[in-house]
Amino acid sequence: MCLAVPARIVSLEADEQAVIDVGGIRKRVSVALVEGVAPGDYVIVHVGYALARLDPQAAAETLAAMAAAGLEPGALA
């Protein structure tokens, strides 16, 4: 549940709003629930609100761990 999608912040607007981009689709959403986000950051958006930041470094680590798990026995970083 909680359909939410990773979105890139394109610009910050007045009234705690932001324009986000998901695969080329742009929409205005609220960033009232997150702090310190800047254009270029990725956030998780649910029902028109950004709920949390997505950490690109952690994402890369997760993918690397998935790849590693598939290669050798017991190799889960």
Q: 70: burial class by Cβ within 10 Å (0-12, 13-18, 19+)?
A: exposed
Closest separation in Å from C-beta 36 to another protein: 10
Closest separation in Å from C-beta 46 to another protein: 6
Task: Find the angle CA(64)-CA(68)-CA(69) to the nearest 5 degrees.
Answer: 120
User: The tokens of 21 are what?
Assistant: 């981009």
Per-residue x/- mask for another protein, residues 20 to 59, rule CB under 8 A?
--xxxxxx--x-xxxx------x-xxxxxx-xxxxxx-xx
For the chain, counts of helices (H) and of strands (E): 1, 5
Residues near another protein (CB under 8 A) are 1-6, 8, 22-27, 30, 32-35, 42, 44-49, 51-56, 58-59, 61-63, 65-67, 69-71, 73-74, 76
